[in-house]
A and B are shown apart, each in its own frame.
Chain A
Amino acid sequence: MLWEFSARLHLAFISRAVGALVPTFWFVITPALIHAQTPTSQISIIRDVRFEQRLNEQIPLDATFRDERGNAVKLGTYFRQKPVIVALVYYNCPMLCTLVLNGLTETLIEQKFNVGDQFEVVTISIDPRESPALAQQKKNTYLTRYGRNGAADGWHFLTGDEQNITRVATAVGFHYRFDPATGQFAHPSGIIVSTPQGKIARYFYGIDYSALDVRFGLIEAAQERIGSPVDQVLLLCYHYDPKSGKYNSLAMGLVRTGGVLTVLALGFLFIALSRKKHTTLNSCALILLPLFPTAASTEADNVDALFIFLLCLCGLVALVVCVLIVYFAVRYRRRSDDQLARWAGTVSWMEWSWTIAPVIIFTGIFLWGVKLYFAAVRPPPDAIEINVVAKQWMWKFQHPEGQREIDELHVPVGRPVKLRVISQDVIHSFFVPDFRLHRDVLPGRYLEAWFEATKPGRYHLFCSQYCGTDHSGMVGYVYVMEPADYQRWLTGGGEGSLASQGQKLFRHLACNTCHTGDASARGPVLDGLYGRNVQLQDGSTITANESYLRESILNPRAKLVAGFQPIMPTFQNQVDEEQVLELIDYIKSLSGYREQVPPVSAPEGPQPTPVQGAIKSSESKQP
């Protein structure tokens, strides 16, 4: 048993090896050798030896041959209701035909279909000199090898004369030559599957035929009248490639095409989403509405674009990894306790590819992220400035026109708004998800954030940096209003502009006793100071911006102005951050700052009653 098994395996191995070697021999080595040693005429013999594709052509069914008993038969006798495998060989062939027939027999053995039941086999000798007796001999040999009953009536070994042989060979595209010098035929190797009507359906080349391929070929040739429903389904996934004579899984083709298309699509998506400024992306995300926040600012759609691209990219990678894991785990599952792994090498180029490719892709994403970030941190020059002071646990807003708000911020639509944020105590974070606006609010330092609202409405404001007991209660709303409504709302305040409040405070704190406005006063002149360079005592210069002004009020010794004495007291414990902002706004107004950024002023004409925020915040706050 083991010997036979071993012999079969050896045969399988040899046939595969030969199957690989023979074409190499024919098409590479032999021509090379022969070319070196052979006269031209013999080279031309070999060159003409091949299969010519003649799918759907008709095999001449009226060609006459002799069967194994010597009777004259028409070829059509064997073409009844079943598909037929046709093999052109010759029985005295020194090597190749034996291999063809052996290979054919192997394949037939592996078939669930039986020779004679679902299909027939016709073997025709291309050598007109061969006799029916020889054909019978061969038949006996191969039928014994095939080993199934009932095959004798289904497998036919024919011989014939030159004319009929040539007719059939030409019809199926079997180009061969007789070499008188050796007395041998030079011919291609392969088998043909024909429909019951004698039309050529499939070619299978070489000497080794995949059992599955032949099965599919027979089923298709029989126009699917043989084979089970499973076969019909499987056939949907396979596709015959005439050039190679093989059935290829459509799936692999689909996967390959899909892979290329996906990479191209991702590249396109990257370019499309990263380049443009987006305004309508959110409407496309409508289908995901409950899962996606509103996009209510100019930058929101751009941020969403990057998010969606990353969703696609990362979703794809995750899917591929998961599918591969599942596929490998199932395909290579251990079926018996002693089953070993089949291969344990490594593929260097793969490892380098999946090291370098991520770096490239990540660099692209990084650059896109930087682009978005730069836009988020650079406010446009004509933005309305609103001060925000965060303190546990409320948000306090100062509009330049003097309006103050707690936990509610009213802004006009379509106008950029720059927020100057600072905390009275601990770190908070100003977060408006619908604007994709997010900035930590630090004590002791001004930070800026900006947005431009695109849709009127009410949007959540959250504190998103943990700040103590009522962190989750430090919430509010941003009300985006139409410009006309906003102007009406602005006139509802009563205290006068922020700068005028600052002026009052300036006098109240007696700042004007030192900062009289004379160049010879005890304190530097504040008119025109904002935005100018200031020479400090240690020789350095600094631009007089908000941070400098704040520091000068709260910690005057930190940056002494050249030529002045260090006599200014600190106002650290006398003013809170809001009051500092008022003072700063006043000092800015002394440089004509407000003229550069005209605030949204009240309209002319009758003033209707100011409209309060339509929805009040549900909790009242104690400032």
Chain B
Amino acid sequence: MSVDGSESERDYLNVAYGVRSWLLTTDHKRIGLLYMVSLTLMFFVGGFMAVLMRLELLTPQGDLVTSDTYNKLFTLHGVIMVWFFLIPSIPSVMGNFILPLMIGAKDVAFPKLNLLSWYVYIVGALFTFYVVVSGGVDTGWTFYTPFSTTAANTHVVSTTLGIVIIGFSSILTGLNFIVTVHKMRAPGLTWFRLPLFVWSLYATSVIMVLATPVLTITLVLVAVERAFHVGIFDPALGGDPLLYQHFFWFYSHPAVYIMILPGMGVVSELITCFSRKKIFGYNFVAFATLGIAFFGFLVWGHHMFVSGESIYAAMTFSFLSYLVAVPSAIKVFNWTATLYKGSVSFETPMLYALGFIGLFTIGGLTGLFLAALGLDVHVHDTYFVIAHFHYIMVGGMVMAYFGGLHYWWPKISGRLYPEGWAKLAALIIFIGFNLTFFPQFILGYLGMPRRYHAYAEEFQVLNVMSTAGASILGVGYLLPFTYLFWSMRYGRKASANPWQATGLEWTTPSPPPGHNFAVTPVVTEPPYNYPTTEALPEPYREAQVV
């Protein structure tokens, strides 16, 4: 550790050494780091598959890999990125680390259960690794029947089992967080004094607990059907393939809100800190968070507009899909208004937050296209949909993850990351992202279907542009991996509150001690209680006005 002796306090990193102290820890902060390492690994595996896919798509013919290999690549890319990266990302890394600190608690409600969640994740990941090395799975991450139950001849059961297992990791984490937020807030920390990140984690946890069991059972049914030919989804045996789609999307649509809500929570934290002012319309944003969670359960049928669901079901789902867009719009407008008359600075986390708002807005707006029945008929299952969800997931969620990572990095590691490199990386990621995915909107409307590894000649130019962008994006992602790692050893030491932010987590040292707070804090102030010039006497207010 340090030589200068200034750290007489032991922090959570150096309170114990050795592999066992990490693998058997119940400290939420260490568990957050365990997740961070696992997730980073999975991100690069899933990303590597994307690289291969985009390389293949440089030419209209399928010449780099065989059809079967390509099908396995996109399936595993989806499975890994959705279940092994996006869904756990912010809740399991930042939620675990920051949530107890933010509410003034010493740990989560069930620390041992928290560790178990990580082990369950690892077991699920091991199943996936097994699938990857033993020949892959090629059903698409959506496992549509009857292909996955009767026609596929790859490791469907192993993959579904792996996902079932990691589903439990989600459920247990969600459960933990719900109880933590209800029961372990510091005295004086009422619901409406909570930072919005906590609201987001809470809403996410509710979805996790309610929706994931549906996925679990659905995938178990797929495995059962595949193994025992029961006839749930096989029409030859009297089953209904569309039933699978209803079951699957009943989970998978709320799942996308599991992925994005924590990101929105992080953005609320970043925008307020780097505008040095409280959020515009706290109540609306908090209720919008709950609204997204609620309405998110009602819209699953919008994935099935051309699948054969009835016209009236389609109409209902279309209308509800428009309603679920409203709370997201509210949030975007409120974030923008938060900047007004603030004191805005442009450190890396803020760059990611601003990038999030722009890209999430574009992605969300294209959702309006997809929710329109008559228009979805054309763009369903094309690259338009791919561009839409990548704008939200990658342009939104992954940028929020990076923003939160940089923001809380001083707290997590006790070090400052190098700001110059970080800003450069943020810029490269933003540019690379847009170059990769914007052409895909055009490709989609032109009619290029999803999951094609050979495509019609006229789509080549746009595909080449997309791959070129992906190469830039890849460089952008490698940079934080490098310098964050570097900063853990060589970065400048961070103070307790390098951003001068409000929030209980910033009242602890960087990094925090194992028990977080020596004395339980008592909260008397509203959230984001940044002083403004309005509170100053007149001459000093004038002096501030530029």
Contact residues in A for B322 (Cβ distance below 8 Å): 359, 362-363, 365-366
Complex CA distance for A340 and B545, rounded to whole angstroms: 10
* Complex: chain B residue closest to A376, CB-CB: B377
B361 adjacent to A303 (CB under 8 Å):
no
* Complex: chain B residue closest to A330, CB-CB: B344
Does A222 touch B at the CB level, under 8 Å?
no
Write the A439-475 contact mask toward B (1 if CB under 8 angstroms, else 0).
1101111010000000000001011111111111101
B375 adjacent to A317 (CB under 8 Å):
no
A340: contacting residue among B330, B447, B531, CB under 8 A: B531
Contact residues in B for A567 (Cβ distance below 8 Å): none
Does A314 touch B at the CB level, under 8 Å?
yes
Contact residues in B for A460 (Cβ distance below 8 Å): 447, 456
Contact residues in B for A375 (Cβ distance below 8 Å): 374
Does B123 touch A at the CB level, under 8 Å?
no
Say whether, besides A344-B532, A436-B378, A443-B236, A359 and B344 are in contact (CB < 8 Å): no
Complex CA distance for A440 and B244, rounded to whole angstroms: 15
A444 adjacent to B343 (CB under 8 Å):
no
Write the B276-297 contact mask toward A (1 if CB under 8 angstroms, else 0).
1110111010000000000000
Say whether, besides A370-B373, A426-B151, A438-B306, A293 and B318 are in contact (CB < 8 Å): no
Complex CA distance for A334 and B280, rounded to whole angstroms: 18
Write the B524-546 contact mask toward A (1 if CB under 8 angstroms, else 0).
00000011111010110010111
Does A1 touch B at the CB level, under 8 Å?
no
Say whether, besides A314-B365, A370-B315, A472 and B538 are in contact (CB < 8 Å): no
Top 6 A-B residue pairs of the complex, sorted by shortest distance between their CB atoms: A372-B374, A433-B447, A444-B235, A369-B372, A341-B277, A373-B373
Complex CA distance for A395 and B329, rounded to whole angstroms: 43
A468 adjacent to B147 (CB under 8 Å):
yes
Write the B242-286 contact mask toward A (1 if CB under 8 angstroms, else 0).
100000000000000000000000000000000111101110100
Q: Which of B46-54, B84-92, B157-165, B332-340 contacts A (4 or more CB under 8 A)?
A: B332-340
A341 adjacent to B378 (CB under 8 Å):
no
A341 adjacent to B532 (CB under 8 Å):
yes
Say whether, besides A314-B369, A374-B311, A355 and B151 are in contact (CB < 8 Å): no
Tell me the smallest distance from the CB of A128 to a CB of chain B, in Å: 41
Write the A314-345 contact mask toward B (1 if CB under 8 angstroms, else 0).
10011001101100110011110001111110
B544 adjacent to A342 (CB under 8 Å):
yes
Interface positions, chain B 498-546, Cβ under 8 Å from A, are: 530-534, 536, 538-539, 542, 544-546
Tell me the smallest distance from the CB of B175 to a CB of chain A, in Å: 32
A332: contacting residue among B275, B332, B372, CB under 8 A: B275
Does A291 touch B at the CB level, under 8 Å?
yes
Contact residues in B for A334 (Cβ distance below 8 Å): 276, 343-345
Does B179 touch A at the CB level, under 8 Å?
no
Please report B residues at the A interface, Cβ cutoff 8 Å: 62, 67-68, 71, 138-140, 144-147, 150-152, 235-236, 238, 240-242, 275-278, 280-282, 284, 305-308, 311, 314-315, 318-319, 322-323, 325-326, 329-330, 332-334, 336-337, 339-346, 354, 357-358, 361-362, 365-366, 368-369, 371-378, 380-382, 442, 445-447, 449-456, 461, 530-534, 536, 538-539, 542, 544-546
Complex CA distance for A356 and B376, rounded to whole angstroms: 24
Tell me the smallest distance from the CB of B534 to a CB of chain A, in Å: 6
A343 adjacent to B306 (CB under 8 Å):
no
* Complex: chain A residue closest to B357, CB-CB: A325
Please report A residues at the B interface, Cβ cutoff 8 Å: 5-6, 9-10, 12-13, 290-293, 302-303, 306-307, 310, 314, 317-318, 321-322, 324-325, 328-329, 332-335, 339-344, 346-347, 350-351, 354-355, 358-359, 362-363, 365-366, 368-377, 392, 425-427, 429, 431, 433-434, 436-440, 442-445, 447, 460, 462-473, 475, 555, 572
A303 adjacent to B375 (CB under 8 Å):
yes
B377 adjacent to A436 (CB under 8 Å):
yes
Contact residues in A for B275 (Cβ distance below 8 Å): 332, 341
Tell me the smallest distance from the CB of B116 to a CB of chain A, in Å: 35
Interface of B is mostly: helix
A351 adjacent to B373 (CB under 8 Å):
no
Contact residues in B for A467 (Cβ distance below 8 Å): 147, 151
A427 adjacent to B546 (CB under 8 Å):
no
- Chain A CB within 10 Å, residue with most, of B151, B374, B453, B538: B374
A350 adjacent to B337 (CB under 8 Å):
yes
A427 adjacent to B452 (CB under 8 Å):
no
Complex CA distance for A342 and B531, rounded to whole angstroms: 9
Complex CA distance for A606 and B145, rounded to whole angstroms: 52
Complex CA distance for A154 and B306, rounded to whole angstroms: 82
B539 adjacent to A333 (CB under 8 Å):
no
Contact residues in B for A426 (Cβ distance below 8 Å): 144, 146-147, 150-151
Contact residues in B for A290 (Cβ distance below 8 Å): 461
A-B contact pairs, 11 of them (CB 8 A): A321-B333, A329-B344, A329-B354, A333-B344, A346-B282, A354-B330, A362-B368, A366-B322, A373-B305, A426-B150, A431-B449
* Complex: chain A residue closest to B280, CB-CB: A346
